């Protein structure tokens, strides 16, 4: 019998000497260790619906509320087609995520999938990318929350937060206080435990879905058929360019896979949650985009970050509905901060249990079943980023980190099919191996299309990660200590 918090023993069969960078963690061991932390265990309390809401919560946020201002001028009324193309591109990777989440239902997401298929070094690189993706995403989204909060305050009580305390140094202020506040609020909820946190998240996701449905219901009354012609004024090139921009509105669906050790029935529920969340988000995106470009000429989207609120006001002739949309956006963006912060803590939990980062990140509170120290450390770090650092080009690096992780997942599903063909799988990628290959190529193409400055930021982050791994992780890895 294992004592609480004690991980299962490592495999006892004789091991052949292996390059430390290539050592792989057995799938059986990875799954057996599920939930085991330092001093306690994570609690399996999340239902399929709650997992779906975590995924939707991490995906459905600033993208749909501000992205039309960037995408519509590129594609024109055909931006709806761009949303469909971006959704199909995301679907390739989502299918691979769904298969691996059902086969290896653990908290580490693509980091864990890489560890059991491609070895420790690639897993570390993937995990380091995920740290970048989630941490910078939290900070960037938190900044967006502060902007919408100002709009809401201005529309309701006629005041705004002074720039001195709503912008960081270098952007006209001293501290972005609203951004720090929203991260700390998310931290408070996450410290209560997964079940309680998931309930709060589900309520917030419900609010933002209702807000978007309200926009669709009101906006459809303002549709003018002439706004749909010409359908693609900038041709196929414009549609493709908009699709590349819109792809990043879908990247939160992997958040469900980080809850693998807190799901009641992970093998069945995780694949369903991933696919269902992607379906919900895609349908909402397409409907909102169709109504938006029908109610507002596509050229008028240029330079606006509040197109949906503007449409609501134009259609009704009353600014009240724009304020309602701003309120929905405040809730929507908070739920993104919440869900992404959750994912970040669970990935670090898995990396800590494997010995690649300090043990404090795997310490579980016995009363709540939550990694509270982990939550506090990550929240304070992300809050500081949002409050004091002008993110600038670094925010774009979250895109390349995400695409890199997605690409590895597509590779991992192919490797695991080859190395463990008889492994029980509750979900299988259709049209294998064509689908994961297309998923990998799509991610590689989008990485290639990113600007040079993004690659520079990514390279610097990777260099720091290599230093950390070779000075700390490679020697403290549980697989390394087991070989001694």
- Give the three-state DSSP class for 390: coil
Q: Tokens 């995106």 appear where?
A: 285
Is the pLDDT at 313 greater than 80? The verdict is yes
CB-CB contact of 140 with 395 (8 Å):
yes
Please give the structure tokens belonging to residue 38. Answer: 């330092």
Is the pLDDT at 39 greater than 80? The verdict is no
Is the pLDDT at 245 greater than 50? The verdict is yes
Closest CA to 345 of 113, 28, 54: 54
Is the pLDDT at 8 greater than 60? The verdict is no
- Give the three-state DSSP class for 389: coil
pLDDT of residue 11: 46
How remote is the C-alpha of 474 from its chain's centroid? 27
Write the burial class of residue 2 (CB in 10 Å: 0-12 exposed, 13-18 middle, 19+ buried). Answer: exposed
- DSSP lists the bridge partners of residue 363 as 38
Please give the structure tokens belonging to residue 260. Answer: 């693998």
Q: Enumerate residues 6+ apart whose C-beta is below 8 A from 12.
A: none
Q: 395 falls in which pLDDT band (50, 70, 90)?
A: low
Among the listed ranges 306-310, 455-459, 474-478, which one has the minimum average pLDDT value? 306-310
pLDDT of residue 4: 45
Task: For the chain, give percent helix, strand, coil, nearest 5.
Answer: 75, 0, 25
Average pLDDT value for residue range 383-405: 76
pLDDT of residue 224: 93
Q: What percent of the chain has pLDDT over 90?
A: 39
**C-alpha span between 290 and 295 (Å, rounded):** 9
Four-residue CA torsion sign, 96, 98, 101, 107: positive
Cα 47 to Cα 41, 88, 99, 265, 364, distances in angstroms: 18, 26, 18, 8, 21
pLDDT of residue 5: 46
**C-alpha span between 312 and 219 (Å, rounded):** 6
Among the listed ranges 41-50, 134-143, 178-187, 347-356, which one has the minimum average pLDDT value? 134-143
pLDDT of residue 2: 43
Q: 10 falls in which pLDDT band (50, 70, 90)?
A: very low
Is the pLDDT at 464 greater than 70? The verdict is yes
- Give the three-state DSSP class for 376: helix
Please give the structure tokens belonging to residue 204. Answer: 């917030």
Is the pLDDT at 12 greater than 50? The verdict is no
Q: What percent of the chain has pLDDT over 70?
A: 93
Cα 182 to Cα 198, 287, 410, 432, distances in angstroms: 17, 29, 34, 42
Is the pLDDT at 13 greater than 90? The verdict is no
Please tell me the pTM assigned to this model: 0.86
Q: Tokens 């958040």 appear where?
A: 255
Q: 440 falls in which pLDDT band (50, 70, 90)?
A: very high
Closest CA to 266 of 60, 424, 90: 424
The Cβ-side half-sphere exposure at 475, using a 13 Å CA radius, reads 5
Q: Tokens 């991260």 appear where?
A: 183
Query: Both ends of the chain: CA-CA distance in Å?
Result: 25
Closest CA to 342 of 138, 50, 140, 46: 138
Cis peptide before 190 (omega within 30 of 0): no
Closest CA to 413 of 397, 435, 391, 394: 435
Q: In the predicted model, what is the mean pLDDT of the chain?
A: 86
Q: What angle do CA 391, 445, 273 make, to 5 degrees?
A: 75
Among the listed ranges 117-121, 206-210, 303-307, 422-426, which one has the minimum average pLDDT value? 303-307
Q: pLDDT tens digit string along 168-182?
A: 777 777 888 988 999
**C-alpha span between 204 and 408 (Å, rounded):** 31
Q: 194 falls in which pLDDT band (50, 70, 90)?
A: confident
CB-CB contact of 261 with 42 (8 Å):
yes
Higher pLDDT: 20 or 80? It is 80
Q: pLDDT tens digit string along 271-303?
A: 999 999 999 999 999 999 999 999 999 988 876
pLDDT of residue 18: 63
Closest CA to 441 of 403, 412, 397: 403
Q: Enumerate residues 6+ apart whose C-beta is below 8 A from 214.
A: 324, 325, 328
Q: pLDDT tens digit string along 80-105?
A: 999 998 888 889 999 999 999 998 88
Average pLDDT value for residue range 338-366: 91
């Amino acid at each position: 019998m294992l004592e609480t918090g004690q991980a299962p023993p490592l495999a006892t069969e004789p091991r052949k000497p292996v390059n430390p960078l290539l050592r792989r963690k057995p799938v059986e061991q990875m799954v057996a260790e599920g939930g085991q932390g330092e001093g306690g265990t994570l609690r399996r309390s999340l239902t399929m619906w709650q997992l779906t809401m975590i995924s939707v919560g991490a995906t459905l946020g600033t993208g749909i509320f501000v992205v039309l201002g960037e995408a519509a001028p590129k594609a024109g009324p055909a931006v709806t087609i761009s949303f469909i193309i971006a959704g199909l591109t995301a679907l390739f990777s989502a299918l691979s995520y769904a298969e691996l989440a059902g086969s290896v239902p653990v908290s580490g997401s693509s980091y864990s999938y890489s560890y059991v298929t491609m070895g420790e070094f690639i897993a570390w690189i993937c995990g380091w990318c995920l740290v970048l993706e989630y941490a910078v995403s939290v900070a960037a989204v938190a900044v967006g929350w502060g902007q919408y909060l100002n709009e809401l305050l201005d529309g309701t009580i006629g005041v705004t937060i002074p720039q001195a305390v709503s912008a960081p140094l270098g952007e006209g202020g001293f501290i972005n206080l609203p951004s720090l506040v929203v991260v700390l609020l998310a931290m408070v909820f996450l410290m209560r435990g997964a079940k309680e946190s998931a309930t709060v998240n589900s309520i917030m996701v419900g609010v933002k879905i209702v807000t978007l449905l309200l926009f669709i219901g009101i906006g459809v009354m303002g549709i003018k058929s002439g706004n749909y012609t010409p359908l693609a004024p900038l041709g196929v090139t414009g549609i493709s360019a908009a699709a590349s921009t819109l792809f990043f509105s879908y990247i939160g669906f992997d958040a469900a896979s980080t809850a693998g050790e807190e799901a009641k029935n992970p093998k069945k529920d995780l694949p369903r949650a991933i696919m269902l969340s992607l379906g919900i988000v895609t349908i909402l995106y397409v409907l909102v985009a169709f109504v938006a470009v029908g109610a507002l000429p596509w050229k008028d989207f240029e330079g606006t970050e509040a197109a949906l609120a503007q449409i609501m006001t134009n259609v009704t002739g009353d600014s009240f509905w724009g304020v309602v949309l701003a309120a929905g956006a405040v809730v929507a963006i908070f739920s993104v901060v919440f869900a992404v912060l959750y994912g970040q803590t669970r990935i670090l939990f898995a990396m800590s249990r494997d010995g690649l980062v300090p043990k404090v990140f795997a310490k579980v509170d016995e009363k709540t079943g939550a990694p509270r120290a982990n939550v506090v450390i990550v929240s304070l770090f992300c809050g500081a980023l949002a409050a004091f650092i002008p993110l600038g080009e670094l925010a774009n690096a979250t895109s390349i980190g995400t695409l890199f992780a997605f690409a590895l997942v597509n590779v991992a599903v192919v490797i695991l099919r080859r190395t463990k063909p008889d492994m029980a799988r509750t979900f299988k990628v259709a049209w294998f191996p064509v689908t994961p290959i297309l998923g990998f190529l799509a991610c590689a193409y989008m990485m290639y299309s990113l600007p040079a400055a993004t690659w520079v930021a990514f390279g610097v982050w990777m260099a720091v990660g290599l230093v950390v791994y070779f000075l700390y992780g490679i020697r403290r890895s549980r697989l390394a200590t087991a070989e001694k």
